[in-house]
Chain A
Amino acid sequence: DGGITQSPKYLFRKEGQNVTLSCEQNLNHDAMYWYRQDPGQGLRLIYYSQIVNDFQKGDIAEGYSVSREKKESFPLTVTSAQKNPTAFYLCASSISPRPGTQGYTFGSGTRLTVV
């Protein structure tokens, strides 16, 4: 079955360390997105990519980095510059970035905790 796989499901990081969250899709979708979810704040866009080797900052990109070397993969690195990284991270994809008539397919998320 096609879908989006996020790994790991739970991740613990020490302060000052970088950590990379994996997101892989086998849906042949062009567009991929990373969202951060905090209690009571809904989803906030970190980065998005509409095609391979191209990506754009979202609303809260500071302290994060991404790459899109393959269509299937869109890893997110949480750097030590991110002041408050503890959150639930969601990866999503859509068939194409335009038009906006298609909904997203989401992964099951990674919960990152800084210890």
Chain B
Amino acid sequence: AQSVTQPDIHITVSEGASLELRCNYSYGATPYLFWYVQSPGQGLQLLLKYFSGDTLVQGIKGFEAEFKRSQSSFNLRKPSVHWSDAAEYFCAVRTNAGKSTFGDGTTLTVKP
């Protein structure tokens, strides 16, 4: 069975600083990987996805993520964080059977 680990429960960064959120997955076959963002009391919004090809993928809101098969990782990055990026971020792996497994999330706080 697949699993996703987000090692950081909570991260605080200053506005304008760079950001990296970690995600490690476990899955026997080629994974389909996703990052979602959730604002308080809202549903999740898809930021970006990886399923093949270039291992560096670009998403919305200036986010990018890099797939590293050797490390079973799919870390999310942003060069300069804005106050509006404060939210909870979820990494997910989806199998060919269609179901997704989500990590427990990382809460991002942005300091002014």
Contact = CB atoms under 8 A, between A and B. Distances in A.
Interface of A: 4, 6, 31, 33, 35, 40-43, 45, 48, 50, 58, 90, 92, 94, 96-101, 103-109, 111
Contact of A45 (B41, B44, B99, B105): B99
B32 A100 contact: yes
Interface residues of B, number: 25
B98 A48 contact: yes
Given A33-B99, A42-B105, A109-B41, 8 more contacts: A6-B43, A40-B104, A42-B90, A96-B98, A99-B32, A100-B97, A101-B51, A106-B43
B51 A104 contact: no
Contacts, number: 72
Interface of B: 9, 32, 34, 36, 41-46, 49, 51, 90, 94-105
B104 A42 contact: yes
A97 B100 CA distance: 10
A104 B96 contact: no
Given A31-B98, A98-B97, A99-B32, A109 B43 contact: yes
13 contacts: A4-B43, A6-B43, A33-B99, A33-B100, A42-B102, A42-B105, A92-B44, A97-B97, A99-B96, A101-B32, A101-B94, A104-B44, A109-B41
